[in-house]
């Protein structure tokens, strides 16, 4: 079939297109990109691209041998170039040949492409979504009705292409991950899976954090249909799906978004603000309406098209502070360090998402304390959750430490309790902590191999019982010793070792315990969720506290021993007279410890312990943790 430029009328008016320029169009992919239309039983395709300062734009592809035979026409009001044409069957690769404002001619990708060819090529494919009959209505209805702040949230963080490989060494795509990862998530009792960025990126070494295609699933992971099937299968199994998203900066590649029409189109005009020296990328101009339309449309597309349950926004600090990068910076017009464009973009982003999809989780990866992040505060950016980077840094520093020095650094495990209610937090032990020479979580632990496993169980118990939602990076659940490698699969061979297999069993049991234990999540919004028994026992380095549920009798007692000394006949205060049963002990044999039997039930004594009138005595394993619950108590005898 002969390729021709057609004069089929556009289905969108100039006023529709102008909404993109005002930043008010949050479904801009319905105008820009490629779209199919039928006229007199003939199929045509309309291509549109925003390039306001380009001198000339041609549509090129395998259908016209990449030659300048299909000139696009420009709408002078909007800066949008357009062409409608027919295409031969099975020829669907395309780019835009742009004559930039400087006269330079360059091939550019379609910023709104939904599918790209596989690397090393980066041409877009003509792709028209097919309507899917989703079977996840029960999950989505339950999600809409539930209050996630008062529900368990335990996330398994995954890098899609290094989870598992085939025998040939090829990374699993979503077709294979549906068959392997979902049953594994079920077995391990996680509530959600979170993927490092799935959008199109040209270089695996970036782990997906330097994007070129904000509407496209990375072609290395499979087709959009396969990812939709994965999400649907997760929902059927009551597992939520969260994706990382990078609206702060983008890939520098010359044929992608960078200086698209020869001017600062997507980036800041000021080169010092445009260049992200820390990551070798380019910063979006987050104050530009067209960029806001592009980015918010991008994430809404993922939410609505793929039914994802949450978005983790990467590198929020880099968007809200002018002095975050390594290069020179200027104060804002108010004389402060806040990047006002980024600050107000994020507020707007969250407002739009909460209007369009109020039950989708918005999560900030943010490392400072100067700006209010979560919707717990009216003057915040409006996120649902913030990663608690302070907790993560403090506890890992503590657990790496020789126990001889822990008594003098006990505040590293208690300081987070001072600010735990300041934001709605997720406690992350993420990919960033097991790469670049930082060592795996297992390798960070002090002591010989047995003690390392014991402390890893202790650490995970602390995380699960500390107020806040949870996140653990893949491989850490069984104590992988080697650092994570983005281009290799996880060390599944570890599970042939009895200690690793038992560590995996422990993590699964701990996750299930968390899901079934309402005191660990249902009152997390209130300070009353936690009551300290003894947070000052530096000499023994033992931390003890209570997690309270809604009902008076519904609580758990947590005791964590941070030293390699077994604490025999150890006394703690309890709130009520009666009997207490041990329900978790990290040193049981099935978990890799040495204990064959649980501690016997504890009967209270009329001994004052701090502010408690009753106390019990029990044994706390070396480098171990135990959890007790009341089985027969007299609630009228409190304190």
Does 95 lie in the same domain as 199?
no
Active site residue ranges: 314, 365
> What rounded mean pLDDT belongs to the chain?
95
CATH of the domain at 218: 3.20.20.80
Residues of the chain with pLDDT > 90, as a percent, come to 91
CA distances from residue 31 to 50, 80, 216, 556, 591 in whole angstroms, order as listed = 10, 10, 16, 55, 56
User: Is residue 27's pLDDT more than 50?
Assistant: yes
Does 155 lie in the same domain as 15?
no
Domain membership flag for residue 535: yes
Cβ atoms of 579 and 633 within 8 Å: the answer is yes
CATH of the domain at 555: 2.60.40.1180
Does 537 lie in the same domain as 508?
no
Last residue of a domain, one of 472, 492, 520: 520
Domain membership flag for residue 144: no
Does 374 lie in the same domain as 405?
yes
Cβ atoms of 257 and 298 within 8 Å: the answer is no
Q: What does the pLDDT read at residue 52?
A: 97
pLDDT classification of 224: cutoffs 50, 70, 90: very high
Q: What does the pLDDT read at residue 639?
A: 41
Domain membership flag for residue 132: no
User: Is residue 104's pLDDT more than 70?
Assistant: yes
pLDDT digits (tens, 9 = 90+) for 582-637: 999 999 999 999 999 999 999 999 999 999 999 999 999 999 999 999 999 998 74
Q: What are the DSSP E strand ranges found in 325-442?
A: 361-364, 385-387, 425-429
Domain membership flag for residue 227: yes
Q: What does the pLDDT read at residue 377?
A: 84
C-alpha atoms less than 13 angstroms from C-alpha of 365 in its C-beta half-sphere: 21
Domain membership flag for residue 592: yes
Distance between CA atoms of residues 619 and 617, nearest Å: 7
Does 447 lie in the same domain as 330?
yes
Domain extent, residue 498, equals 151-520
pLDDT digits (tens, 9 = 90+) for 346-356: 999 999 999 99
Cβ atoms of 290 and 239 within 8 Å: the answer is no
Q: What does the pLDDT read at residue 75?
A: 93
| Section 81-97 average pLDDT | 94
Does 510 lie in the same domain as 546?
no
Our count of domains for the chain comes to: 3
Q: What does the pLDDT read at residue 5?
A: 53
Last residue of a domain, one of 474, 493, 520: 520
User: Is residue 166's pLDDT more than 90?
Assistant: yes
Residues of the chain with pLDDT > 70, as a percent, come to 97
Domain membership flag for residue 137: no
Does 169 lie in the same domain as 106?
no
pLDDT digits (tens, 9 = 90+) for 543-575: 999 999 999 999 999 999 999 999 999 999 999
Does 451 lie in the same domain as 434?
yes
Q: What does the pLDDT read at residue 11?
A: 60
Q: Where are the alpha helices (DSSP H) in 311-436?
A: 316-320, 340-356, 389-400, 411-414
Domain membership flag for residue 139: no
User: Is residue 461's pLDDT more than 90?
Assistant: yes
Q: What angle do CA 481, 483, 488 make, to 5 degrees?
A: 110
Does 550 lie in the same domain as 511?
no
Q: What does the pLDDT read at residue 375?
A: 87
Last residue of a domain, one of 520, 543, 569: 520
CATH of the domain at 115: 2.60.40.10
User: Is residue 67's pLDDT more than 70?
Assistant: yes
| Residue 168: count of CB within 10 angstroms of its CB | 5
Does 475 lie in the same domain as 352?
yes
Distance between CA atoms of residues 564 and 349, nearest Å: 49
Does 220 lie in the same domain as 291?
yes
Does 582 lie in the same domain as 508?
no
Domain membership flag for residue 142: no
Cβ atoms of 213 and 29 within 8 Å: the answer is no
Between 389-400 and 449-465, two packed helices, what is the crossing angle to 10 degrees? Answer: 150
């Amino acid at each position: 079939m002969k390729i021709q430029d057609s004069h089929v009328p556009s289905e969108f008016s100039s006023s529709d297109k102008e909404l993109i320029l005002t930043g008010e169009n949050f479904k801009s992919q319905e105008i820009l990109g490629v779209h199919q239309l039928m006229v007199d039983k003939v199929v045509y395709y309309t291509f549109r691209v925003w390039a306001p300062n380009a001198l000339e734009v041609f549509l090129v592809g395998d259908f016209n041998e990449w030659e300048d035979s299909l000139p696009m026409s420009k709408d002078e009001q909007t800066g949008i170039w357009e062409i409608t044409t027919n295409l031969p069957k099975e020829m669907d690769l395309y780019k835009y040949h742009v004559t930039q404002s400087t006269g330079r001619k360059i091939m550019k990708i379609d910023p709104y492409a939904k599918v790209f060819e596989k690397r090393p090529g980066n041409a877009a494919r003509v792709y028209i979504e097919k309507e899917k009959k989703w079977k996840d209505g029960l999950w989505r209805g339950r999600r809409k009705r539930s209050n996630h702040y008062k529900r368990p949230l335990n996330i398994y963080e995954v890098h899609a292409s290094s989870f598992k490989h085939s025998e040939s060494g090829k990374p699993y795509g979503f077709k294979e991950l549906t068959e392997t990862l979902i049953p594994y998530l079920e077995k391990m009792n996680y509530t959600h899976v979170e993927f490092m960025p799935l959008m199109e990126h040209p270089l695996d070494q970036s782990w997906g954090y330097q994007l070129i295609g904000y509407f496209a699933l990375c072609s290395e992971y499979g087709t959009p249909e396969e990812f939709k099937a994965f999400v649907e299968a997760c929902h059927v199994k009551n597992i939520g799906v969260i994706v990382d998203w990078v609206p702060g900066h983008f890939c520098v590649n010359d044929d992608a978004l960078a200086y698209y029409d020869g001017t600062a189109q997507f980036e800041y005009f000021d080169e010092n603000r445009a260049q992200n020296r820390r990551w070798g990328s380019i910063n979006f101009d987050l104050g530009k309406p067209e960029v806001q339309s592009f980015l918010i449309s991008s994430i809404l597309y993922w939410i609505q098209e793929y039914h994802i349950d949450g978005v983790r926004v990467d590198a929020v600090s880099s968007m809200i502070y002018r002095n975050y990068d390594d290069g020179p910076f200027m104060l804002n017009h108010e004389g402060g360090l806040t990047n006002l464009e980024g600050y107000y973009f994020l507020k707007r982003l969250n407002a739009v998402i909460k209007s369009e999809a109020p039950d989708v989780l918005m999560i900030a990866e943010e490392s400072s304390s100067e700006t209010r992040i979560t919707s717990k505060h009216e003057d915040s950016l409006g996120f649902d959750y913030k990663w608690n980077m302070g907790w993560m840094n403090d506890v890992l520093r503590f657990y790496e430490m020789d126990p001889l020095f822990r008594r003098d650094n006990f505040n590293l495990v208690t300081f987070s309790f001072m600010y735990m209610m300041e934001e709605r937090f997720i406690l992350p032990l993420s990919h960033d902590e097991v790469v670049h020479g930082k060592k795996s979580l297992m390798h960070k632990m002090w002591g010989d191999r047995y003690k390392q496993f014991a402390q890893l169980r202790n650490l995970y118990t602390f995380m699960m019982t500390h107020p806040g939602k949870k996140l653990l990076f893949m491989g850490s659940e069984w104590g992988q010793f080697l650092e994570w490698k983005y281009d290799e699969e996880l060390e599944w061979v570890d599970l042939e070792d009895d200690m690793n297999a038992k560590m995996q069993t422990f993590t699964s049991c701990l996750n299930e315990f968390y899901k079934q234990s309402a005191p660990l999540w249902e009152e997390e919004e209130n300070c009353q969720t936690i009551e300290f028994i003894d947070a000052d026992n530096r000499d023994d380095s033992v931390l003890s506290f209570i997690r309270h549920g809604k009902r008076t009798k519904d609580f758990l007692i947590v005791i964590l021993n941070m030293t390699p000394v077994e604490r025999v006949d150890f006394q703690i205060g309890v709130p009520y007279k009666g009997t207490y049963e041990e329900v978790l002990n990290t040193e049981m044999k099935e978990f890799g410890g040495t204990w064959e039997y649980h501690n016997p039930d504890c009967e209270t004594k009329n001994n004052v312990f701090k502010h408690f009138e009753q106390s019990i005595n029990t044994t706390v394993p070396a480098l171990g943790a135990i959890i007790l619950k009341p089985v027969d108590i007299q609630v009228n005898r409190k304190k």
